[in-house]
Structure 1
Amino acid sequence: MARRPVEVAAVEGDLEALTALWREAKVDAGTSPEVCARAISDGRLSSALQRPGVQAFIATLEGEPAGYVITTDNPFGLAPSPEVAIEQLWVTPDARRHGVAKQLLAAVLAAAERAGCEQVVSNVPTTSREANRFFARLGFGSTVTRRVVATGTLRRRIAPETADTGLELTRRRRSLRQRAFSTRSA
C-alpha cells in the first residue's frame, strides 16, 4: 500500500491553518479552549511567531492540515555553533503514522542546513513517552534536563521572608477591613 503524499510548506503570512492546529494541539495536551482562545485573541501566538529566528512549517495530507512544527534559531545563545531548536511538533491524531512528522523534520533539516546549523535540538516533554521514543529513533540524544519554575515559587524558596506568600496579604486585608468596620460602627 502506497503512502499518501505529505506536503510541507513554510508559514508565511496567513496564520489561520497554523492557529487552528496550534489550538487543537494545546487542547489535546490539556489546556482549556478558553485559555487557547485568549492567547490567540490577545495576539500572543502571532507575535511569538513573528519574533526573529522563529520559523513555522505546516504539513498537509491530501490537502488537509495534518501537523506543524515551530523552530527557533540558536536557543541558548552560547553554543559554539548555530543550532535550530524544535520548540513544538504536533501531528493530528488521524494523520499519525503516515510520515507527517518525518516530513516536517525534513523541512526543519533543510532549513537548518541552509542556515549553516550543525545541530538540531528538540524540546520534548519528559512525560511524553511517544515523542521521546520518536526522537530517540531518529538519533536525538538526551544532553540536558531543562527544569522550569514560576518566579513566585522560586522567590518563596530562595527568600521566604521577602516573598508575598499570601498570608501577609490576607493579614493586611483583614486589618484594613477591621479598621474600616470600626470607623463605620463608631
Structure 2
Amino acid sequence: MARRPVDVAQVGEDLHAVTALWLEARVDSGSSPDVCARTIADGRLSAALRRPGVTAFVAHLEGEPAGYVITTDNPFGISPTPEVAIEQLWVTPDARRHGVAKSLIAAVLGSAERSGCELVVSNVPTTSREANRFFARLGFGSVVTRRVVPTGTLRRKIAPETAETGLELTRRRRSLRQRAFPARSA
C-alpha cells in the first residue's frame, strides 16, 4: 500500500493552521485547554512565532493539517557553526506512521542547508521512548543531558532568603548533630 502524499509548507503571516495544531498538541500533552486558549488569545503564541530566527512548517495529509514543526536559529549551540534547533514537533494521532514527521524533518533539513547550518538539534524528552527511537533512526545522537529547574527552586537552592537565615540553619544543624552524637569522654 502506497503512502499518502504529505505536503509541507513554511508558515507565513497566516498562523491559523499552526495555532490550531499547537492548541491540539498542548491539550494532547495534558495542558489545560483554557490556559492554551489564553496563550493564543493574548497573542503570546503569535508573537513567539514571529520572532526573528523562528520558523514554522505545517504538514497536510490529504488536505488536512496533520502536524507542525517549529525551529529556531541556534547560533550559540555546542557547535562553532550555526545550528537549527527543533523546538517542537507534533503530528496528529490519526496522521502518525504516515511519514508526516519525516516530511517535516525534511523541510527543516532543507531550510538548514539553505541557511548554511551544519547541524540540526532537537531536545527530546527522555521519557518519550517513541520520539527517541524516531530521532535515533534519523541519525540524531545523544550529546548532552539537559536538566531543567523552576527559577524559584533554583533560587532556594543557591541562596537562602537572607544570610542570617543561612547561618541560623547551619547553627541548628550543628546543634542537632551534637545532641544526636555527643562527644565521647575519655
Instruction: Calculate the TM-score normalised by the size of structure 1.
Output: 0.84
Using a 3 Å threshold, how does the CA distance of structure 1 residues 78 and 150 change in structure 2: closer, same or farther? Answer: same
1:57 aligns with 2:92: no
Q: Which sections of structure 2, spanning at least 5 residues, go unmatched?
A: 164-186
The corresponding residue for 1:181 is none
1:150 aligns with 2:150: yes
The corresponding residue for 1:3 is 3
AA partner of residue 121 (structure 2): V
SS, match of residue 155 in structure 1 = helix
State the shift of 1:77 in Å.
5.0
The corresponding residue for 2:45 is 45
- TM superposition outliers: structure 1 runs of 4+ over 4 Å: none
The corresponding residue for 1:96 is 96
Contact 1:75 1:85 in 2 (8 A): no
The corresponding residue for 1:173 is none
Matches of 1:97 and 1:77, distance apart in 2: 31
Q: Which sections of structure 1, spanning at least 5 residues, go unmatched?
A: 164-186
AA partner of residue 144 (structure 1): V
AA partner of residue 160 (structure 2): P
- Residue pairs, 1:1-186, within 5 angstroms: 1-74=1-74, 76=76, 79-162=79-162
Matches of 1:124 and 1:22, distance apart in 2: 17
Contact 1:69 1:104 in 2 (8 A): yes
Q: How large is the Cα RMSD of the aligned pairs?
A: 1.3
Instruction: Calculate the TM-score normalised by the size of structure 2.
Output: 0.84
- What is the percentage of aligned positions where both structures have the same residue? 82
State the shift of 1:79 in Å.
3.0
Using a 3 Å threshold, how does the CA distance of structure 1 residues 50 and 57 change in structure 2: closer, same or farther? Answer: same
Of the structure 1 ranges 74-83 and 151-160, higher mean CA displacement relative to structure 2 is found in: 74-83
Matches of 1:99 and 1:120, distance apart in 2: 19
The corresponding residue for 2:176 is none
SS, match of residue 20 in structure 1 = helix
SS, match of residue 12 in structure 1 = coil
SS, match of residue 65 in structure 1 = strand
Contact 2:76 2:82 in 1 (8 A): no
State the shift of 1:161 in Å.
3.0
Contact 1:8 1:58 in 2 (8 A): yes
Matches of 2:67 and 2:149, distance apart in 1: 29
Give a deviation string over 1:135-174, Cα, whole Å, max 9, x none.
01111011011111111111111112339xxxxxxxxxxx
AA partner of residue 103 (structure 2): Q
Matches of 1:78 and 1:94, distance apart in 2: 36
AA partner of residue 51 (structure 2): R
> How many residue pairs align between the two structures?
163
